[in-house]
Structure 1
Amino acid sequence: MAADILNKMDANGKTEVTNVLPKDIGTDYSFKRQIVWKNAIGFLIFHLMGLWGLWLMVSQVTWKTFFWSWFVLFCASEGVTIGAHRLYSHKAFKARPLLRAVLIFLQTMAGQNCMYIWVRDHRLHHRYSDTDADPHNAKRGFFFCHIGWLMSKKHPYVKLMGKNIDMSDLEADWMVMFQKRFYKTLYVICAILLPVWVPVHFFGESWLHSFLVVYVCRTVLQLNGTWLVNSAAHIYGTRPYDKNLQPVESWFVSMISLGEGWHNYHHAFPWDYKAAELPTLFNQTAHIIKFFERIGLAYDLKVVPQDMIKNRIHMTGDGTHYEYGNDEARSSVEARGPLHPLNPTYNTTFKAPQPVLKKEGLPLYHETDLVKETKIRHRPIGLAH
C-alpha cells in the first residue's frame, strides 16, 4: 500500500516520505501521528491566558474596551470568511484592489497564517476533504480536526498532494505575495500592536489588560469559532445536498462563524458566494458581500441556479432538506431540547460516509472554471450537471 511506503523508516530512524502518488486516497487509521510538543504546550498556555483575558473582559475592563475587542474580532473574522475563504480560496466573486487590500489587512489581523498558506491549505482541504490528504481530516475525530492537527506533524499525503495545488492566481497577486513575504512583521503590527494600542491610548486601559483582552482572548475566541467549521460542521448535522460528503449543515456553527456552518451545501457547491442556499439565515458574510457589490467594490458574484440545487438534492441528498426532503428522513434527527449539533443529545441515524477520492480530488471553483484546471482530467466527483 502507498501508505506503507510513506511510513517506511530510513537508516537514521526518521520517517521516509517518498514521492509516490496514490491512485486513491482514504483514511488509514493505523497511521501514527507525531505530536509537535512546542505547538501543543504553546496552545495550552495561550488558551489559559485567553481564559484570564475572558475574565478581565467581563469584569475589569471598560465597556469601550469590551466592545472594541468584539469589533476587532468581527472585522478580523470577515477578513477570513470574505477574503481568505470566499474570495481567494473559491473565487466566488471578484473584488476591486481597494477591497482586496482591506481584506488582506483584516486577514492578517486574524492571525491564521498568511493568505497564501491559508488558501493553499483550504484548497487542499476541499480537494481531498476528510481523507489523509486533508490537513484537518474529520475522520480522525473532533479533537484532531478542531485543534489537534495543529499540534502534530502533517500526514505525508498532505505534504505530497499540497504540492499539486494550483496557486498561480495568488502568486500573480502582488498584495498577497507582499503579505506572505513580510507576514511576521505585519502580524505583529496588525494583530497585536494596533488593536492593543487603541484601548490604551483612547480608553485609558492598561497595556496588560488590553493585551490579554483585545489580543489573547479575542484571538482564542476567533480561532475556536473558525475551528468549529472544521470540526462540528463536519461531524454533527445532516447532509441534505450530498450524503456522500462528510460536511454537514449546522445553524449553530453558522451563527458562531458568521455564515460558514452551512457546510454540506458549501462542499457541494464551493463557488457560491453565499456558501449556503439561503443568504438570510445566520449569514452575515453574504450580506456584507452584497453590500460591497452595491457600492462597486465587489462584482461577478457567483450563485448556483435553483434547478441545479434541486437536482443535487434529489440525486444525492439524505432526504432532510427543509423543502425537498421527506418526513422519514427528517424524523431520523432528534434531540432533547434545542435541535442543534452541539447539543449532547443530538442524534441522527444516518451514518457518515467513508470518502475515498481519486488523486485528482474534488472541485474548488465554479464548474465552468474547471476547464482552466489542467490537473483535473475527469468529471469531478459528486458534481451535479
Structure 2
Amino acid sequence: MSSHSTGSCSEDEHQWELQWKAKSKQSIFQTWWIPGLGMAYAHVMAVVAIWYGCSWHVLLSTLVISQSCLLGVTAGAHRLWSHGSFRASTPIRLFLAITQAVASQGSARWWAQRHRIHHRWVDTEFDPYNSKRGFFYSHIGWILERPKYNPKVRLIDLRDIDADWVVRWQRTAYPYIVIFAGFIFPWILGWAHGDPLMGFLWFGPVARVISWHGIFFVNSYCHWKGARLFDNEISARTNGFLGLWSMGESNHSAHHVFAKDYRHGIMPYDIDPAKWAIWVWAQLGLVDRLYKFDDHIIQQCALETSIEQKRQQLHALEQQHAQHMESAKGTSYFMPPVHTLPVWSMQKLQEKAEAEKGGALVVVDGIVHDVRKYLPSHPGGVALLREWHGRDATEAFYRGLNIHSKAARILMARMAVARLLEDEETESSEKEG
C-alpha cells in the first residue's frame, strides 16, 4: 500500500527466493560489528554524560536537537520520501534531509527502501525489522545483524526518490553530515554553552540515543503491545504515551492501515507533532498536496475492527463462563439446567407443600425452588419466605417486595428442584418426573 513495484518475480527469481528463505531459517545471528560498536559507543557515552551532568539549558538544547532529528526521520524519510504523503518545497526538503542525516539512522534513500519493504512484507522473513523474531531483534537487533541480501529489494521501485536531487545530494553528503553533527558541532555548541565536554556528550551521544529509541520503540513495542484500532489482522498497534517521544509515529495502528495519510494520529486529539509541523508548513505555503484518507473509510475500519474485537471478547467470556459452570458440577454450587428438572403440576406442588408444613417451596418464573437451607440467611427473615410456601412468588420476587440482585437470582437458581407443568406439556412428562 505504501510502496511501488516493478513487476512480479520470474520463475528463476521465485526459486532463488525459496532457497534464500530456506538458508535464512538455517542461518544463525551474525553480529555486524561496525554499527554494533557505534551503537555501543553512543550508549556508553550517554551514560557518561548522565554521570557528568548538565545544566538546564544544555538539557533543553539536547531535547531540541533530538526532536529535530526525529522530525527529519518522521516527516522526511518516512512520510515524505517513503510514502509521498505530501509535497515539500526545496527549503523544507533540505531541512528534513539534513536533520534526518543528523539522526544517524542511514540516508533517506536507505531508510525509505527498507521501510517500503517493511510495509509490503510486514512480519515475514523479508521484513527488515520482523517483530516475530522477538522484541530485541525488532528494536535494535536488526541493526546489529550482518546484512544478508534480501530478494525483495529488487521489487522496490525507488525512481520517485532518486528523482529528487535533495535525496541524491544527501546520500553523497550523509557520512560528512554524520561526522560533523556527531563530533564537531557538539564541541562548538558546547563551547557556546560554556562547557565543550558537556556539549560533546549531550549534543552528540545523548541526543542520538534519544532519537534512535524514539523510532526503535515504534518498530518493537508498537508491534507488540497497544491498541489495534483499525485492523485486527496486522501486528501494528497504537501507544499514545509514546506520541511525543516518537513525534507521532506511535499511532502505528492507523499508519499501517492508512499508510499514505500524512497524519499518523488520525484523530484531532492524537499526539502527533510531525502531523502538526506538516500542517503548519502547509499554512505557510511551504508544503502542499497533503494526503488524507476519506473519513468514511476511516470510521468504517474503526467500527468493524471494534465489532470484531467485541465478538472475540464475547466468545472468550462465553468459554470462560462455560468452564466456570462445568467446574461446579458435583458441588453445592451447581445450577441444574431447567430442561433437566422434573416436571410437577400445580396439584403436585400443593400436595408436597401440604405434606411439608415446615418447608419452603417457592415458585418463581415457573420454577419450584426449595429454599429451606436459605431460611436462616434470608435478609427479609424466615417468616416472609414461609409465607410463600407452595405459592407463586414471581411478582413479589421481582417487583412487589424487593428488587433482587443478580447474586440473589443465581443463589435461587441453585435451589431449583422442579418446573411447573406447562399447557403444551403432556401428562407423561409429569409422570416421568
TM-score bracket for this pair, using the shorter chain length: 0.7 to 0.9
Tell me, in whole angstroms, the C-alpha distance in 1 between the residues paired with 2:165 and 2:36: 34
Q: Which has the larger radius of gyration?
A: 2
Q: Secondary structure at the match of 1:163?
A: helix
Residues 290 and 235 of structure 1, relative CA distance in 2, 3 Å threshold: same
1:193, distance to aligned residue in structure 2 (A): 2.3
Partner of 2:262: 273
**Which deviations, in whole Å up to 9, do the C-alpha atoms of 1:343-368 show, x marking residues without a partner?**
xxxxxxxxxxxxxxxxxxxxxxxxxx
Tell me, in whole angstroms, the C-alpha distance in 2 between the residues paired with 1:196 and 1:146: 30
Of 277, 282, 304, the match for 1:293: 282
Output the amino acid matched with 1:36.
W
Of 40, 44, 52, the match for 2:40: 44
1:191, distance to aligned residue in structure 2 (A): 4.0
Q: Secondary structure at the match of 2:151?
A: helix
Residues 29 and 47 of structure 1, relative CA distance in 2, 3 Å threshold: same
Within a 5 Å distance, the mapping from 1:103-182 to structure 2 comes to: 103-156=96-149, 159-182=150-173
Q: Secondary structure at the match of 1:33?
A: coil
Q: Secondary structure at the match of 1:147?
A: helix
Of 223, 244, 252, the match for 2:233: 244
Output the amino acid matched with 1:65.
V
Q: 2:28 aligned with 1:32, yes or no?
A: yes
* More contact order relative to length (CA 8 Å, sep ≥ 6): 1
Residues 22 and 312 of structure 1, relative CA distance in 2, 3 Å threshold: farther
Q: CA RMSD in A?
A: 2.9
Residues 27 and 284 of structure 1, relative CA distance in 2, 3 Å threshold: farther
Q: Which moves more between the two structures, 140-149 or 240-249?
A: 240-249
Partner of 2:65: 72
Partner of 2:408: none
Tell me, in whole angstroms, the C-alpha distance in 2 between the residues paired with 1:197 and 1:279: 40
Tell me, in whole angstroms, the C-alpha distance in 2 between the residues paired with 1:92 and 1:216: 31
The answer to whether the 8 A contact 2:182-2:205 is kept is no
The answer to whether the 8 A contact 1:35-1:153 is kept is yes
Q: 2:194 aligned with 1:204, yes or no?
A: yes
Q: 2:220 aligned with 1:227, yes or no?
A: no
Tell me, in whole angstroms, the C-alpha distance in 1 between the residues paired with 2:109 and 2:173: 12
Output the amino acid matched with 1:35.
T
Output the amino acid matched with 1:134.
D
Output the amino acid matched with 1:138.
S
Q: Which moves more between the two structures, 188-197 or 129-138?
A: 188-197
Residues 89 and 296 of structure 1, relative CA distance in 2, 3 Å threshold: same
Structure 2 unmatched runs, 5+: 1-12, 318-433
**Which deviations, in whole Å up to 9, do the C-alpha atoms of 1:255-288 show, x marking residues without a partner?**
3212111111100110110113214321111111
Of 302, 314, 323, the match for 2:291: 302
Q: Secondary structure at the match of 1:210?
A: helix
Tell me, in whole angstroms, the C-alpha distance in 1 between the residues paired with 2:145 and 2:30: 5
Partner of 1:91: 84
Identity of aligned residues (%): 28
**Which deviations, in whole Å up to 9, do the C-alpha atoms of 1:144-172 show, x marking residues without a partner?**
0001111112354xx21112211101111
Residues 38 and 95 of structure 1, relative CA distance in 2, 3 Å threshold: closer
1:221, distance to aligned residue in structure 2 (A): 1.5
The answer to whether the 8 A contact 1:93-1:301 is kept is yes
Tell me, in whole angstroms, the C-alpha distance in 1 between the residues paired with 2:140 and 2:127: 14
Output the amino acid matched with 2:161.
L
Partner of 1:313: 302
The answer to whether the 8 A contact 1:35-1:151 is kept is yes
Q: Which moves more between the two structures, 137-146 or 98-107?
A: 98-107
1:188, distance to aligned residue in structure 2 (A): 1.7
Higher helix share: 2
1:22, distance to aligned residue in structure 2 (A): 4.9
The answer to whether the 8 A contact 2:72-2:99 is kept is yes
Tell me, in whole angstroms, the C-alpha distance in 1 between the residues paired with 2:36 and 2:57: 33
Q: Secondary structure at the match of 2:241?
A: helix
1:76, distance to aligned residue in structure 2 (A): 1.3
The answer to whether the 8 A contact 2:32-2:147 is kept is no
**Which deviations, in whole Å up to 9, do the C-alpha atoms of 1:61-118 show, x marking residues without a partner?**
3332221111111111111111111111111111111111111111111111111101
Tell me, in whole angstroms, the C-alpha distance in 2 between the residues paired with 1:283 and 1:326: 31
Residues 45 and 177 of structure 1, relative CA distance in 2, 3 Å threshold: same
Tell me, in whole angstroms, the C-alpha distance in 1 between the residues paired with 2:38 and 2:298: 43
**Which deviations, in whole Å up to 9, do the C-alpha atoms of 1:5-56 show, x marking residues without a partner?**
xxxxxxxxxxxx9972459989976553222244434423331211111333
**Which deviations, in whole Å up to 9, do the C-alpha atoms of 1:312-338 show, x marking residues without a partner?**
234455756xxxx78947x99xxxxxx
TM-score (norm 1): 0.72
Tell me, in whole angstroms, the C-alpha distance in 1 between the residues paired with 2:269 and 2:304: 25
Of 94, 101, 120, the match for 1:101: 94
The answer to whether the 8 A contact 1:232-1:253 is kept is no
The answer to whether the 8 A contact 1:136-1:144 is kept is yes
Q: Secondary structure at the match of 1:182?
A: helix
1:238, distance to aligned residue in structure 2 (A): 2.4
The answer to whether the 8 A contact 1:274-1:283 is kept is yes
The answer to whether the 8 A contact 1:124-1:135 is kept is yes
Tell me, in whole angstroms, the C-alpha distance in 1 between the residues paired with 2:247 and 2:263: 11
Tell me, in whole angstroms, the C-alpha distance in 2 between the residues paired with 1:99 and 1:38: 32
1:186, distance to aligned residue in structure 2 (A): 2.1
The answer to whether the 8 A contact 2:42-2:208 is kept is no
Output the amino acid matched with 2:144.
M
Q: Secondary structure at the match of 1:274?
A: coil
